[in-house]
Amino acid sequence: MLKTKESWLNWYDQPSLTKKVLGSNFLLVVFHWYVMLSTFGAVLDMVTDRISTACLLVVLSQLYKPSLIFLSLLALDIASHWLQMYSTFLTGKTSHKDVKDSSSWLFRAYYGNRMFMAYCCVSCEASVLYLILFYLVENQTQKLVDVISSNLQKISLLSLLMGSSLFGWAVKQIINVIQMKTASDACVLYDIEKKHKN
**Per-residue pLDDT tens digits for 25-76:** 666 666 655 555 667 777 777 788 888 889 888 888 888 888 899 999 999 9
- Tell me what pLDDT residue 91 has: 85
Query: What is the rounded distance in angstroms from the CA atom of residue 80 to the CA atom of residue 185?
Result: 12
- What is the residue-averaged pLDDT of the chain? 78
pTM of the model: 0.73
pLDDT at 152 over 60: yes
- Tell me what pLDDT residue 9 has: 46
| Confidence band of 5 (pLDDT split at 50, 70, 90) | very low
Question: Among candidates 37, 45, 49, which has minimal Cα distance to 172?
Answer: 49
Query: Which residues are the active-site residues?
Result: 49
Q: How many percent of the chain have pLDDT more than 70? A: 75
Question: Which amino acid type is present at position 142?
Answer: Q
- Tell me what pLDDT residue 179 has: 92
- Stronger pLDDT, 139 or 145, i.e. the higher one: 145
Question: Among candidates 183, 191, 192, which has minimal Cα distance to 88?
Answer: 183
Question: What is the total residue count of the chain?
Answer: 198
Task: Give the single-character DSSP code of 65.
Answer: B
Q: Is 92 exposed, middle or buried (0-12, 13-18, 19+ CB in 10 A)?
A: exposed
